[in-house]
């Protein structure tokens, strides 16, 4: 889910400088690639469409949505004209444009793109292909974001079934489907149904990716959220602590996932303190650091 990692030993100022410089270099390279392809191959060549898509993806990662959108649309138009409206490359750009709309909460614009993408892939790949599972998952996530839980659930389940059958019960993508279905259940307060899915997802990530992988940390965080929602603070807190240790090591303090994990962790510890249940907390050094900050009035 992430691109290049920055070394966590770098201080905040130098880290920001490195990120800014790499973004500038990447931007220049992709613009240069696009210019060369337009000049050498033509503005309507499929390779030009690829360069447009790649530059759009960079802008999207940088939050430059208004710049990304016309590039995706131009890329989509080229693919449709050169390879056809039902080509898989067309479906790829439809998916990318839908993701852009998703990130802006423009769900009504994203939905028809996702449905069209899914239709193309079904015609080209059949009903059981892993790519179908990915597209079903994306459509389910869109429905979930809109609170359309009854529409999201069968799509998540179908995605999970395909991945179990085609990739295996212990594949990381299967773990992702398990996690996403669990997230849907948690959002609805269906905690007893969510818990075994979270646990199975976590076990797969630990086995297949390792205990120090960022995806394992996210799974730990999500299971902790479930326990927190039920007031099971003594079970949530050590999971948060483990997740933060992994995220700090793998991604660094400034990464959004680390920041989100810390926010969840701090919220849990503060809730325990406010509930007068401080004795439920462990002696983990991160937990104790948060407690000290609370006692000093810093949190």
- Output the CA–CA distances (angstroms, integers) from residue 273 to 103, 229, 236, 294, 297, in the order listed: 35, 16, 14, 9, 13
**Count of H helices and E strands in the chain?**
13, 0
pTM: 0.84
**Domain membership flag for residue 181:** no
Tell me: pLDDT of 274 over 60.
Answer: yes
Tell me: pLDDT of 15 over 90.
Answer: no
Total domain count, the chain: 1
pLDDT tens digits, residue range 62-105? 889 999 999 999 999 999 999 999 999 999 999 999 999 999 99
**Domain membership flag for residue 203:** no
**Domain membership flag for residue 227:** yes
- The stretch 249-255 carries a mean pLDDT of 92
pLDDT tens digits, residue range 103-130? 999 999 999 999 999 999 999 999 999 9
> Could you tell me if 89 and 71 are in contact, meaning their C-beta atoms sit under 8 angstroms apart?
no
pLDDT at 1: 36
**Domain membership flag for residue 125:** no
- Output the CA–CA distances (angstroms, integers) from residue 183 to 144, 152, 187, 216, 218, in the order listed: 9, 11, 6, 15, 12
Tokens of 289: 């650091």
**Domain membership flag for residue 243:** yes
The half-sphere exposure of 58 on its side-chain side, counting CA atoms within 13 A, is 17
**Domain membership flag for residue 285:** yes
pLDDT tens digits, residue range 206-240? 999 999 999 999 999 999 999 999 999 999 999 99
pLDDT category of residue 41 using cuts at 50, 70 and 90: low
pLDDT tens digits, residue range 27-38? 677 777 766 666
DSSP one-letter code for 32: H
Domain range for residue 243? 209-299
Question: What backbone torsions phi and psi does residue 253 show, to the nearest 5 degrees?
Answer: -65, -35
Tokens of 37: 């392809």
CATH number at residue 224: 1.25.40.10
Rounded Cα gap, residues 145 and 195, in angstroms? 21
Lowest mean pLDDT among 46-50, 82-86, 165-169, 189-193: 46-50
Q: For the residues of 121-181, what is the DSSP string, one character each?
A: HHHHH-TT-HHHHHHHHHHHHHHHHTT-HHHHHHHHHHHHHHHHHHT-TT-HHHHHHHHHH
Report the SS3 class of residue 11.
Answer: coil
pLDDT at 6: 28
Length of the chain in terms of residues written: 299
**Domain membership flag for residue 244:** yes
pLDDT category of residue 284 using cuts at 50, 70 and 90: very high
Rounded Cα gap, residues 179 and 160, in angstroms? 10
pLDDT at 22: 54
Tell me: pLDDT of 186 over 90.
Answer: yes
- Residue 9 Cα to chain centre, angstroms: 25
**Domain membership flag for residue 75:** no
Tell me: pLDDT of 19 over 90.
Answer: no
């Amino acid at each position: 889910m992430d691109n290049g990692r920055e070394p966590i030993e770098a201080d905040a100022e130098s880290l920001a400088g490195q990120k800014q410089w790499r973004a500038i270099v990447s931007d220049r390279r992709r613009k240069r690639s696009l210019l060369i392809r337009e000049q050498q191959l033509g503005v309507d060549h499929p390779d030009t469409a690829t360069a447009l898509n790649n530059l759009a993806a960079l802008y999207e990662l940088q939050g430059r949505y208004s710049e990304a959108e016309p590039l995706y649309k131009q890329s989509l138009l080229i693919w449709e004209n050169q390879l056809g409206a039902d080509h898989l490359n067309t479906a790829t750009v439809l998916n990318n444009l839908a993701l852009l709309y998703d990130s802006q909460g423009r769900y009504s614009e994203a939905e028809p793109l996702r449905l069209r993408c899914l239709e193309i892939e079904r015609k080209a790949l059949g009903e059981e292909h892993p790519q179908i599972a990915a597209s079903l998952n994306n459509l389910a996530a869109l429905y979930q974001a809109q609170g359309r839980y009854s529409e999201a659930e069968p799509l998540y389940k179908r995605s999970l079934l395909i991945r179990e059958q085609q990739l295996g019960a212990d594949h990381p993508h299967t773990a992702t489907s398990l996690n996403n279905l669990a997230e849907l259940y948690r959002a609805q307060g269906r905690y007893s149904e969510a818990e075994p899915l979270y646990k199975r997802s976590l076990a797969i990530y630990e086995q297949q990716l390792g205990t120090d992988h960022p995806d394992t940390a996210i799974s730990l965080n999500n299971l902790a959220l479930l326990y927190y929602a039920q007031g099971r603070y003594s079970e949530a807190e050590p999971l948060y602590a483990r997740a933060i240790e992994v995220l700090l090591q793998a991604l660094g303090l400034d990464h959004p996932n680390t920041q989100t994990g810390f926010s969840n962790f701090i919220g849990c510890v503060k809730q325990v303190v406010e509930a007068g249940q401080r004795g439920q907390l462990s002696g983990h050094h991160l937990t104790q650091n948060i407690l000290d900050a609370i006692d000093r009035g810093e949190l």
